[in-house]
């Protein structure tokens, strides 16, 4: 009888432990979905627009600084599912966006190297571009080039960088789209490599570094 009682207690503890682990996992999965998707787009004037979607019950606070722009997500039972928008200027040739939340989850960080918003680019074959970050972890890049710009896609295996080569040519295509998957460590790097007849050297801009 004593052995049966001990066996019952052990089984009960095991079931309780499993249930607790499943409950924790479910909570973690829910927390990770506070940020559903977001898009970063470079505007015609060189500024950047952030558009993001959070689920119902999640509120957003913004904290802007010269070195880092933070988007903080936190629980709020009165918050409705909504789409947020915010514009950012590039200063000191850099724009850094960091998503954080109250659970300290690993959320995306985006570092962009580009011309300052207040400066007129001397070399810019790229008209505009946007990056859509999906829930499944993929990133859709959409971009538009100036008339007569040839586009080629490559990959730098030494540095794990997705290169997009823009050169003056005779192409009539203006709009392009490509899907990317992140590296095993959650990172993604994209460089626009621009070359004109005036300047034979390559200019890498903008450069996008995604980490999480």
- Residues 112-160 pLDDT 10s: 999 998 775 555 899 999 999 998 889 999 999 999 999 999 999 999 9
The stretches in the chain having pLDDT less than 70 are: 1-32, 120-123, 199
Q: Which two tokens stand for residue 40?
A: 């970063």
pTM of the prediction?
Answer: 0.81
pLDDT of residue 84: 92
pLDDT of residue 2: 46
Average pLDDT of the chain, as a whole number: 84
């Amino acid at each position: 009888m004593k052995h049966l009682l001990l066996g019952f207690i052990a089984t009960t503890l095991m079931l309780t432990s499993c249930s607790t682990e499943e409950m924790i996992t479910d909570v973690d999965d829910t927390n990770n979905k506070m940020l559903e998707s977001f898009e970063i787009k470079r505007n015609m004037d060189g500024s950047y627009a952030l558009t993001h979607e959070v689920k119902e019950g999640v509120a957003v606070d913004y904290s802007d600084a010269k070195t880092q722009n933070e988007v903080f997500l936190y629980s709020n039972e009165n918050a409705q599912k909504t789409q947020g928008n915010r514009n950012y200027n590039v200063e000191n040739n850099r724009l850094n966006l960091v998503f954080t939340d109250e659970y300290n989850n690993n959320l995306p960080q985006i570092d962009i190297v580009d011309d300052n918003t207040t400066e007129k680019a001397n070399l810019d074959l790229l008209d505009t571009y946007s990056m859509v970050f999906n829930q499944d972890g993929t990133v859709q890049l959409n971009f538009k080039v100036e008339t007569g710009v040839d586009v080629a896609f490559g990959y730098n295996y030494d540095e794990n960088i997705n290169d997009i080569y823009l050169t003056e040519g005779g192409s009539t295509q203006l709009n392009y789209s490509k899907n990317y998957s992140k590296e095993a460590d959650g990172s993604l790097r994209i460089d626009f490599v621009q070359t004109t007849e005036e300047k034979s050297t390559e200019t890498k801009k903008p450069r996008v570094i995604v980490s999480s």
